[in-house]
Structure 1
């Protein structure tokens, strides 16, 4: 059986932010390298013009870091 322990709000929000950053960054990289469509087109406003490759790479790395930090805080319990 699996545990039905509810997730904390911090873990849920960090998971959402992590998803948006990783998918948006990967989508931007695919658009720059292969000229595919933007899956999440709004992220192009977060990256300075001329530095798209670096910006999208930083977004992917930041998304992974936020996801890892959110999972690390998942075990914390407030007493």
Structure 2
């Protein structure tokens, strides 16, 4: 089932931000733990030295939270 209602720009931005945070954080964690796959290398500039693993976990959690907030905004707009 498809919906004919257009998405708001805020929904698109939160979806993109959520994707970047989750994929960037997961990529950073894989790079820290396994030493390979540095897919989104720019996120390493967001992590302070010595706290990379913690920063990448925070990025993943924040990305999930932003995605959930965007989904809530989308559902609230339909009602």
Structure 1 and Structure 2 fold alike (TM over 0.5): yes
Return 5+ residue gaps in structure 2 as ranges: none
How many residue pairs end up in the alignment?
77
Distance in structure 2 (CA, Å) of the matches to 1:10 and 1:76: 13
- TM norm structure 1: 0.92
Q: What does 1:1-79 correspond to in 2, within 5 Å?
A: 1-77=1-77
1:12-67 deviations in Å (ceiling 9; x for gaps): 00000000000000000000001113100000000001001100000000000000
- TM norm structure 2: 0.92
**Stretches (4+) displaced over 2 A:** none
